[in-house]
Amino acid sequence: MTGEGLQFLSLNPDRQYDLSEEQKKVLLRTCYLHGAMREQSRAILTEFSSPLEGEGLAWSPFDSPVLPDEVTTNHLAQLGLIEKREEGFVVADAYVTTVSSFLEEGKGWSEEQFRQYLREKEEIGRLGELLVKEFETRRLSQLGHEVEARCVRRIANVRVNAGYDIESFDAASPSVIYDRFIEVKGAKGPQMRFFWSENEMNVARRLGKKYWIYFQASIDAPNKRCLCEPVMLNDPYNVLLKDASFIKTPQGLIVESSLKGKAAECVLPG
Question: Whole-number mean pLDDT of the chain?
Answer: 86
Given a cut of 90, whether residue 113 has pLDDT beyond it is no
pLDDT digits (tens, 9 = 90+) for 153-162: 999 777 778 8
Give the total number of structural domains in the chain. 2
99/145 same-domain check: no
Domain carrying residue 29: 3-107
Judgement on whether residues 53 and 137 belong to the same structural domain of the protein: no
Last residue of a domain, one of 85, 107, 129: 107
Residues 150, 58, single domain; the answer is: no
Residues 6-18: tens digit of each pLDDT: 787 887 888 877 8
Give per-residue pLDDT as tens, 193-244.
888 888 898 999 999 999 999 999 999 888 989 999 999 999 999 988 777 6
The residue out of 61, 76, 107 marking a domain boundary is 107
Whole-number CA gyration radius for the chain: 26
pTM: 0.57
Residues 76 and 117 in one domain: no
Same domain, 139 and 63: no
| Final residue of a structural domain among 86, 107, 128 | 107
Same domain for 122 and 196, yes or no, is yes
Q: Tell me, what CATH number does 136's domain have?
A: 3.40.1350
Show contacts of 38-44: CB within 8 Å, 24+ apart. 40/68, 40/69, 40/72, 41/72, 41/76, 41/102, 42/102, 42/103, 42/106, 43/68, 43/69, 44/68, 44/69, 44/72, 44/73, 44/76
